[in-house]
C-alpha cells in the first residue's frame, strides 16, 4: 500500500485534514456546509476537492471519488461546552454522529476516525451513540477503540481534550496503537505568542509572556446562533485573566509600543488576542489563511481540530493500515 487516501466531512478550517496530509494521506473529497470554511480550504489548498454541503444530505453515489478510500474522517462541530455535552446528546449532535457511521456503509473505508468533545469517548454520557456505533461497525467488519487525547500532549499550547473513535477493518486493527504524547513538556501560551506580541514594539511583551507560562484553556467557537468573537464562558474567561489576557473580546491589532499592560486594573489593563493569534494557539501554521469576517474566522478556529493531533492520529492509523 503506497499513498493513502481519505474523505473528510465537517472539514471546517481544515485542521484535521492538514494533520492527515502531514501524516501522508491525500484527500479525495472534503465537505463542509459553511461557505467561509470552504473558502478557507480552497485558499490554502487550491487543488483539494472541496464540496459545500450538509453531511446529512451527502450522497456518495454522486461523488464516486469518495469510494475505495483508506480513511473516512469526521471532525464534527464542537457546538456545546464540554460540561453541557457531558450531560446529554443533542438531536443535531446525534444525527451528525450517526451520519458519519452511516457514510461508512456507502464509502466502505478501511478506517474511520470521528473526533469531538471528550465526552464522546464516555459510554455513559454518549450511551445511544456508543450502542449504535458498536452494532453498525461490527456488522461492517470493523474493530474499534474509544479514547481521549489532550492536544497539549502533542505540542499544542492549549488544554484541549478530544474524544476520539477509531474503527479499522479487523485484519489491520491489531496493529493500531493510541497515539502517545509527542512532547515531554507542554508548550505555553507565552512561548508561542511572544514573537507576535513583540512584533509592533510592545515593551511589556516579554513580561507578559513570562506570566503566560501555561497552556491556554480550550478555545470554543460557539454556534452560528450564539457566541461571538470572545474566548468563551465566564469560567474560561477567568482562566484567561490569570494569563494576563482580556477574554471578553478579540483585538483587531497587536499591542503597540504605547499599550500599557496593567492586569491589576482588571480586564481593560490586559492584552487582547487577535484572530491570527487564536489560530497559532490551535497550532495552525502562520501562513494558513482563515477567510471570512472576524467572528466567522474565530468560529472556524475554535471548532478546528489542531493539526498536530490530526497528524498523530493519521500516523497511528497509517501504521496499522500498512502493517
Distance CA 34, CA 185 (A): 36
Per-residue pLDDT of the chain (323 residues; tens, 9 = 90+): 468 999 999 999 999 999 999 999 999 999 999 999 999 999 999 999 999 999 999 999 999 999 999 999 999 876 554 444 444 445 677 788 999 999 999 999 999 999 999 999 999 999 999 999 999 999 999 999 999 999 999 999 999 999 999 999 999 999 999 999 999 999 999 999 999 999 999 999 999 999 999 999 999 876 665 556 688 888 999 999 999 999 999 999 999 999 999 999 998 899 999 999 999 999 999 999 999 999 999 999 999 999 999 999 999 999 999 98
Distance CA 241, CA 246 (A): 6
> What residues does each domain of the chain span?
4-183+304-321, 189-301
Question: Which CATH architecture best describes the domain 4-183+304-321?
Answer: 3-Layer(aba) Sandwich (3.40)
Measure the CA dihedral 246/247/251/254, to 10°: 60
CA pseudo-torsion sign 145, 147, 152, 156 = positive
How far, in whole angstroms, is CA 37 from its chain's centroid? Answer: 13
Helix (H, G, I), strand (E, B) or coil at 129: helix
Q: 10 Å Cβ neighbour count for 233?
A: 16
Output helix, strand, coil percentages for the chain, rounded to the nearest 5: 45, 15, 40
User: Going by C-beta distance under 8 Å and a sequence separation of 6 or more, which residues neighbour residue 197?
Assistant: 205, 208, 209, 254, 255, 271
* pTM score: 0.94
Question: Residue written as cell 471532525?
Answer: 75
Distance CA 179, CA 172 (A): 16
DSSP 52: E
Helix (H, G, I), strand (E, B) or coil at 26: strand
Amino acid at each position: 500500500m503506497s499513498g493513502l487516501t481519505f474523505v473528510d466531512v465537517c472539514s471546517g478550517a481544515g485542521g484535521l485534514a492538514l494533520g492527515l496530509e502531514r501524516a501522508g494521506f491525500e484527500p479525495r473529497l472534503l465537505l463542509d456546509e459553511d461557505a467561509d470554511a470552504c473558502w478557507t480550504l480552497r485558499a490554502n489548498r487550491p487543488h483539494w476537492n472541496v464540496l459545500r454541503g450538509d453531511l446529512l444530505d451527502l450522497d456518495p453515489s454522486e461523488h464516486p471519488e469518495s469510494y475505495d478510500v483508506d480513511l473516512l474522517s469526521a471532525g464534527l462541530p464542537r457546538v456545546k461546552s464540554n460540561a453541557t455535552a457531558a450531560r446529554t446528546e443533542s438531536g443535531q449532535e446525534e444525527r451528525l454522529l450517526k451520519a458519519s457511521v452511516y457514510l461508512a456503509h456507502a464509502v466502505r473505508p478501511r478506517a474511520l476516525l470521528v473526533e469531538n468533545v471528550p465526552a464522546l469517548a464516555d459510554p455513559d454520557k454518549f450511551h445511544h451513540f456508543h450502542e449504535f456505533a458498536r452494532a453498525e461497525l461490527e456488522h461492517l467488519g470493523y474493530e474499534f477503540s474509544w479514547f481521549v487525547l489532550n492536544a497539549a500532549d502533542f505540542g499544542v499550547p492549549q488544554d484541549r481534550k478530544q474524544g476520539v473513535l477509531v474503527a479499522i477493518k479487523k485484519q489491520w486493527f491489531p496493529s493500531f496503537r493510541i497515539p502517545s504524547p509527542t512532547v515531554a513538556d507542554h508548550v505555553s501560551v507565552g512561548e508561542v505568542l511572544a514573537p507576535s506580541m513583540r512584533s509592533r514594539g510592545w515593551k511589556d511583551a516579554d513580561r507578559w509572556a513570562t506570566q503566560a507560562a501555561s497552556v491556554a484553556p480550550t478555545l470554543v467557537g460557539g454556534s452560528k446562533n450564539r457566541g461571538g468573537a470572545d474566548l468563551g464562558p465566564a469560567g474560561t474567561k477567568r482562566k484567561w485573566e490569570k494569563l494576563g489576557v482580556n477574554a471578553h473580546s478579540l483585538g483587531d491589532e497587536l499591542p503597540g509600543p504605547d499599550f500599557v499592560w496593567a492586569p491589576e486594573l482588571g480586564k481593560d489593563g490586559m492584552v487582547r488576542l487577535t484572530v491570527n493569534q487564536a489560530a497559532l494557539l490551535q497550532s495552525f501554521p502562520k501562513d494558513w489563511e482563515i477567510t471570512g469576517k472576524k467572528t466567522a474566522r474565530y468560529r472556524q478556529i475554535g471548532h478546528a481540530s489542531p493539526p498536530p493531533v490530526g497528524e498523530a492520529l493519521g500516523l497511528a492509523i497509517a501504521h496499522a493500515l500498512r502493517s
